[in-house]
Amino acid sequence: SQQGEEDPQALSIQEGENATMNCSYKTSINNLQWYRQNSGRGLVHLILIRSNEREKHSGRLRVTLDTSKKSSSLLITASRAADTASYFCVADSWGKLQFGAGTQVVVTP
C-alpha cells in the first residue's frame, strides 16, 4: 500500500508562476524525500529533509516538514515548461521508502 496522499492530484500553471503541492504520510519517519518523474519513466531525486528539520531550500525548490501533522509541502518557484512532470513525496521509515500517489504538474508557456 502507499504511504499517504498528495494534494492536488493535478496542477496546471503558466510559466513564471509558483507550484505548491502537499503530502501527508502515516508512519514515523527519519526523513521525507521528493522525487520527480518525467513521462512515466525513471525517477530523479529532488530534495531530502530530515525529521528534525522544518524547512529546506535547493535552487527553486522549497520544502517544509511538519512532523506533528505528518505533512510536507513542496514549492517550485518561477516554474518553467521543463518542470512539467509528476512529483512524488517519499516517506523514509528507516530504510522502507514509501511513495505518495503523486501530483501531476503541467506548466504551459
Q: Which of 50, 54, 57, 80 binds another protein (CB under 8 A)?
A: 50
Q: How far is the CB of 17 from another protein (least distance, A)?
A: 24
Q: How far is the CB of 44 from another protein (least distance, A)?
A: 8
Q: Residue 76: beta bridge partners?
A: 19, 61
Does the protein bind another protein through residue 87 (CB under 8 A)? no
Does the protein bind another protein through residue 72 (CB under 8 A)? no
Does the protein bind another protein through residue 31 (CB under 8 A)? yes
Report phi then psi at 103, rounded to 5: -120, 125
Burial environment of residue 43 by CB neighbours within 10 A (0 to 12, 13 to 18, 19 or more): middle
